[in-house]
Amino acid sequence: MDKSIRVLVVCGGISTEREVSLRSGNAIYKALVSRGFRNAALFDLTGDNIGEIIEMRPDIVFLGLHGKGGEDGTIQGMLDLAGIPYTGPGVACSAVCMNKVFTKRVLRDAGLPTSPFHVMRRDECSDPARVTAVLREKVGFPMVLKSPCQGSSIGVVMAKKEEDVPAALEEVFRYGDHLLAEQFLDGTEVTLPVLGNDEPTALPIIEITSEREFYDYTAKYTSGLCHHIIPARISGEDAAKVSEIGRKAYRVLECRGLSRVDFIIDRQKGPMIIEVNTLPGMTDMSLFPDAARYVGMSYEDLVEKILEYGLEAPGDLA
């Protein structure tokens, strides 16, 4: 690869995941510099400086953003219009995967396993007692209530019993106007990192354990509160299913470059997709780099490979 290309690592952003994105971006930038990309630059996106990306005209943007404004197709659309290549999936895939409701509908229509769910708007939830009755009928307790367009488990609340619903609604609606209620899955949480464009490769399955009630934001980004176990302590049959289902989901959703498919292997239902992350974390505590390291791919190797895939993938408007 030509090490003189102008690579702009864009991170920060305006979402609730800004601090994590800054950590991802800094790690990516340092990896590029260590590999001799002398024209690599780090760009902290704050919202009011987005036009500077177009003015800089980099050869490629390495997206280290997470959450709204970075992982939802908006910056991907701008870069497509400007004719600037970028890493990771395109506009349509990013927009669908950022919205957990849209993701689940696509997966369901494709015949891929995901937890039963029900969606409600804020204006339908003025009466907590009525909402509780609806959710009891449609989903059942225990359940997981989510804000559909957040990442890093922000806006995710467990409701074990009816009395938990009012407080859960208040927390979820802090982050948007929609509520996603999912049937609780009881089992092992694993994730499948997938790397590539037309012929994607599944990296090792990682089992995730948490010192907290579930794998929430605090557990993800606080040392010692979560554990990544590679290879996952699951049966060969379940591992084969996770790999097959994950690769199918990657293709159905038209992911490219990289994405991470998160599962819970339910004790009764088997592997069930929770969500798909199109710009997974790239911090020193992140899952994707851990899986790569297990197969002998250093962090720097991974960054360079993602960059290669970004350069060969056409934009959505190409």
Catalytic residue, from 69, 73, 151, 281: name it. Answer: 281
pLDDT the model gives residue 224: 65
- Cα separations in angstroms, 261 against 88, 137, 283: 14, 29, 18
CB-based burial, 7-42: b 16+ in 10 Å, e otherwise: bbbbbbbbbbbbebbbbbbbbbbbbbbebebeebeb
Nearest to 59, CA basis, from 43, 76, 36, 40: 40
What average pLDDT values come out for the chain (318 residues) when binned by 10 residues? 96 93 98 98 95 97 95 96 97 96 97 97 95 97 92 82 96 94 96 96 94 55 74 97 98 97 97 97 92 97 98 61
Residue-wise pLDDT tens digits, 121-139 = 999 999 999 999 999 999 9
Name the DSSP letter for residue 59: S
- Tell me whether residue 162 is one of the annotated catalytic residues: no
Which position among 12, 15, 17, 70 bears the catalytic label? 17
Within 10 angstroms of residue 43's Cβ, the number of other Cβ atoms is 21
* The one catalytic residue among 275, 290, 304, 316: 275
Cα–Cα distance measured from residue 318 to residue 315, given in angstroms and rounded to the nearest whole number: 5
Catalytic residue flag (residue 152): yes
Nearest to 76 by CA among 89, 64, 66, 67: 89
Concerning whether 243 is annotated as a catalytic residue, the answer is: no
Both structure tokens of 197: 């464009």
| 260 in catalytic set | yes
Local structure of 188: helix, strand or coil: strand
Out of 29, 215, 217, 221, the active site residue is 221
| Structure-token pair, residue 67 | 């959450």
187 is an active site residue: no
Q: Which member of 15, 152, 259, 286 is catalytic?
A: 152
161-216: pLDDT as tens digits: 999 999 999 999 999 999 999 999 999 999 999 999 999 999 999 999 976 565 55
Q: Is 281 a catalytic residue?
A: yes
Q: pLDDT at position 238, please? A: 98
Q: 6 φ, ψ to 5°?
A: -90, 105
Structural domains of the chain in order of their starting residue, each with its CATH number:
7-88 (3.40.50.20), 96-113+185-312 (3.30.470.20), 117-183 (3.30.1490.20)
Catalytic annotation present for 262: yes
Question: Residues, the chain, total?
Answer: 318
For residue 318, the model assigns a pLDDT of 37
Catalytic residue among 257, 277, 310, 316: 277
Query: Taking a C-beta distance cutoff of 8 angstroms, is the pair 262, 273 a contact?
Result: yes
What does the pLDDT look like over 248-261, one tens digit per residue?
A: 999 999 999 999 99
Is 176 an active-site residue?
A: no
Tell how strand 143-146 and strand 7-12 pair up.
unpaired
